[in-house]
Amino acid sequence: MLPVSAQPYSFPELKGYRIVSNYPVFTPDNLWDFIDGAADGYLSYGFENVHIREYQKGKDIIKVEIYRHKDRNNTFGIYSSERSPSYRFIAIGAQGYIADEGSLNFFKDCYYVKLRTYSGKEKVQRDMESLALRIADMLPGDASMPKAVTEFPDNNRVKNAERYINESVLGHEFLNHAFQSEYQVDGTTFNIILIDKETPAETAKTAALLLAGAGLEPESAEEGKYCFRDGYNGDIFLAWRGTRMVIISGLAKDQSAIADRYTGEILR
């Protein structure tokens, strides 16, 4: 087993730049020393370490941070928590984007990579993008989205708004490890949440806990479909079958036809 600070890759060369390492390897024990208030968010997504390098050419600097998290879902979780559908998305790794001039982020497998330069030169901006592509090629692992992200229905889905939530989904401590996607139908914005469990029994247990908060009990362990008032989130549509659970928040009770259409498509 690799130590928590291990680096199973080498930073690629970039013509004309020298690679400088003035930073320690940050781990869960000292991440606050590097990103302070943001550390808790990273730690909640299974952060393991971050290796940092600066590529320098004269006064021009490109800073690279490579964060490693415990698995692809958690890496997508922290990556998706910092992106916006309005960013300019690019084909790199599993997905990447340019947030503003001089800032490029992407993820691949268990690695979340952030590049930054404060140089306003177009050549340095191009060098940064070239370096990002080399790093993506260098990093080991699967360059695809988590499978659950591809299983959300496309119709009326807000593109690039999917998230992975590792803990306390909808504010419930017992509700964890969920994928969420945003939808807009007839002026209404709502979220669809997918939770996959190892066994049908685990799914049934989670459904029972969620229903108990509304004073309800499931009629069947194998599958069910309910609409109820949740103390944290208002009206909730809940459906499950086998190992998969679907939760929809943001719709009113009289919009059950919309909820039924999506849950039916996902669980069929």
Low-confidence ranges of the chain (pLDDT < 70): 1-5
Query: What is the pLDDT at residue 59?
Result: 95
Task: Write out pLDDT tens, residues 220-250.
Answer: 888 999 999 998 899 999 999 999 999 999 9
Query: What is the pLDDT at residue 149?
Result: 96
Q: What is the CATH number of domain 147-267?
A: 3.40.1000.20
Boundaries of every domain in the chain: 18-138, 147-267
What is the three-state SS of the chain? Answer: CCCCCCCCCCCCCCCCCEEECCCCCECCCCCHHHHHHHHHHHHCCCEEEEEEEEEEECCEEEEEEEEEECCHHHHHHHHHHCCCCCCEEECCCCEEEEEECCEEEEEECCEEEEEEECCCCHHHHHHHHHHHHHHHHHCCCCCCCCHHHHHCCCCCECCCCCEEECCCHHHCCCCCCEEEEEEEECCEEEEEEEEECCCHHHHHHHHHHHHHCCCCCCCCCCEEEEEEEECCCEEEEEEEECCEEEEEECCCHHHHHHHHHHHHHHHC
Query: What is the pLDDT at residue 100?
Result: 82
Q: What is the CATH number of domain 18-138?
A: 3.40.1000
Query: What is the pLDDT at residue 221?
Result: 80
